[in-house]
A and B are shown apart, each in its own frame.
Chain A
C-alpha cells in the first residue's frame, strides 16, 4: 500500500509533463521515445526486473552513482522498489493522461496563448484542470498496477520483511509455506481494494 501510494504520487508528477510533451510537441524521435516509455507494458516482468537489477545494482550506471553518493545500495531497498515500480507502471500513467490532454480543444490553448500565457502556464492553468478525469484514471491504474506488481519487485527488491516484501510477494510466500489462511486474508483485502478502484474508474470514465 505504502509503495503503491508513493509510486502513484511520484508517477503523476513525472508523467504529467511527459504526457504533455507527447501530446503537444513534435520532435524527431518522438515515436521511439513513446515506444520506450510504453515498453514496460509489453516486456515480461522478469525481463524488466532483470534490466532494472543491472541498472540499479552496485555496478549499474544508476546504482553505482547512488552508492557513491549515499554509501548504501539501491537494490534490495525500499527506494529501489519504488523506482522499479514507477518504471513498471509508467505506461499506465502516461496513456490516460496523454489521451485526456489530446482531447482538449486546441483553440483553448490558442486562446490562452493570445491571453498572454506561456506554454507551461497554459499547461498548468488550462490543460491540467480540464483533464482531471484522465489524471484520476492514471492515478487509479498506477495504484492498482503497483499494488499487483510481483516479478519486477521480486527481482529488484528480493523479499526483505519490513523493507521490500510487498503484499503480492507475501501472498506468494504464504502459499509456498502452505499458510492458506494468511494468503486468503491478504488476497481478500487486495481483491476488495482493486474492485473498489475499478468502480471508481468506471465512474470516472462515465463522466
Chain B
C-alpha cells in the first residue's frame, strides 16, 4: 500500500506553516487543532491548490511537489478525493451527475450512492436535499474517481450530531477496504480521538502535541506526532 509523505513549509501572513508527517495506506491521519491553525492550508498544499515555499510531497513513488527540483504537479494530476467543509456540489447537476462527475464507471457510482443511502435522490438537484445528503454525495463524488489519497477537511462539521456520527462511522468502516492514505481535518479533539490512527496536533502552523496534552497550559516537548491511544490516556488522566 502506498504512503503519503509530507514535509512542507509555507509562509502565511500571520505565521509560517512548517509540518512533516507520513500517512500509510489504509490509515486515518487526523490533523487536529484550533481554528485558523493552518490545517486547511496543509490540506490545500497536499491537494496542489497551493504551492509550498519549501519541501516535498510524495505519494508512493510519485513526487507531487519538490521545491528543490522545481516539481509541482497540478491538482488534476494528483488523482485525489477532497471533501470540503460545506461542500459546494455543482448546483446545475443532479446528485447522480455530481457523483459521476469524474467517473467512467457507472456501476461503481450506483454502488456508492446505494452504499451512502442517496441512490433514491439521484435525480434531485443539490438545493433540494439536506446538508447530510449533499455531504454523502460529496463523498461518493470523491470516491467514484478511485482516488489515491482522500482528504476530508472538516467534512461533517456543518451537520447535526447524529448525522455527523453516522457519516464518520461510515468513513471509518471503509478505511480498510479503500487502503489509501486518508487525511482528516477537525478542530474537535473528541472526534479526532475517536477516529484517528495517527494524530497530528497543529497549532499556528506547526505540530504541537502540548495542545492535546494540556490545551490551556501547553507543555510536554517529547515526540511531536502522537498516537491516539497515548493521547486518549493523557486526556483521561486530565478527567477527574
Q: Which residues of A contact B (CB under 8 A)?
A: 105, 107-108, 110-118, 126, 129-130
- CB <8 Å contact, A130 and B84: no
CA distance A126 to B93 in the complex (A): 9
Which residues from B are CB-within-8-Å of A114?
47, 49, 75-76, 78, 80-82
Residue among B80, B101, B141 facing the most chain A CB atoms (10 A cut-off): B101
CB-nearest residue of chain B to A126:
B90
CA distance A18 to B222 in the complex (A): 56
Which residues from B are CB-within-8-Å of A129?
92
Contact (A107, B75) CB under 8 Å given A115-B141, A126-B90, A130-B92: no
Which positions 91-122 of chain B face chain A at CB distance < 8 Å? 91-92, 101-102
Closest Cβ of chain B to A41, distance in Å, is 31
- CB <8 Å contact, A116 and B145: yes
Residue among A112, A114, A117, A126 facing the most chain B CB atoms (10 A cut-off): A114
Closest Cβ of chain A to B97, distance in Å, is 10
- CB <8 Å contact, B75 and A113: yes
- Chain A's interface: helix, strand, loop or mixed, by majority? helix
Residue among B47, B79, B92 facing the most chain A CB atoms (10 A cut-off): B92
Which residues from A are CB-within-8-Å of B49?
110, 113-114
Is the CB of B215 closer than 8 A to any CB of chain A? no
CA distance A156 to B91 in the complex (A): 45
CB-nearest residue of chain B to A118:
B76
Is the CB of B218 closer than 8 A to any CB of chain A? no
Is the CB of B60 closer than 8 A to any CB of chain A? no
- CB <8 Å contact, B92 and A111: no
Which residues from A are CB-within-8-Å of B102?
115-117
Interchain Cβ contacts under 8 Å between A and B, 19 examples: A105-B88, A107-B88, A108-B90, A110-B47, A110-B49, A111-B82, A111-B87, A113-B74, A113-B76, A114-B47, A114-B76, A115-B101, A115-B102, A115-B141, A115-B145, A116-B76, A116-B79, A118-B76, A130-B91
Number of residue pairs across A and B with beta carbons under 8 Å?
A: 42
Which residues from B are CB-within-8-Å of A130?
90-92
CA distance A191 to B75 in the complex (A): 52
CA distance A117 to B88 in the complex (A): 16
Residue among A112, A115, A129 facing the most chain B CB atoms (10 A cut-off): A115
Which residues from A are CB-within-8-Å of B87?
111
- CB <8 Å contact, B76 and A111: no
Closest Cβ of chain B to A43, distance in Å, is 37
CB-nearest residue of chain A to B74:
A113
CB-nearest residue of chain B to A108:
B88
Which residues from A are CB-within-8-Å of B78?
114
CB-nearest residue of chain A to B144:
A115
Closest Cβ of chain A to B225, distance in Å, is 26
Closest Cβ of chain B to A133, distance in Å, is 12
